[in-house]
Amino acid sequence: MSAPGDQPTRYRVVYSERVRAALRLLLARADAVDMRQVVAAAVREIDARLQIYPQFGEPLRDMETEGETLWVGAVEPLVVHYVLDDPRRLVFVVTPFKTLAHLGL
């Protein structure tokens, strides 16, 4: 059993301005179908997972910079593409969240 305070170092998650702007639009769309809270909860869940265990998704391909890999993860109703820089414990989310098609968002 791990001792209290014996927490692993979290990954630092960095989002682009474009992601933030797109998130506002996504929440507005979600509001129209009464899913604003659901989408917000999914974003929080994604962020928490990226900080603690970004390997929850699947790798798609290596990036040009050594140590960086493009991943994808999905938390209903969202899909997130992210670049994991494991050696530096960094996660970059630079393209907007996408929605699973069948959910009407």
Which residues bind to other proteins, rule: CB under 8 A?
A: 12-20, 23-24, 27, 36-38, 40-45, 47-51, 56-58, 60-61, 63-65, 68, 70, 72-76, 79, 81, 83, 92, 94-95, 98, 100-101
How far apart, in whole angstroms, are the C-alpha atoms of residue 47 and residue 102? 23
Closest to other proteins by CB, 33 vs 44, is 44
Contact 43, 26 (CB under 8 A): no
Instruction: Give the torsion through C-alpha atoms of 32, 37, 42, 45, to 10 deg.
Output: 160
Closest contact distance (angstroms) between CB of 22 and other proteins is: 11
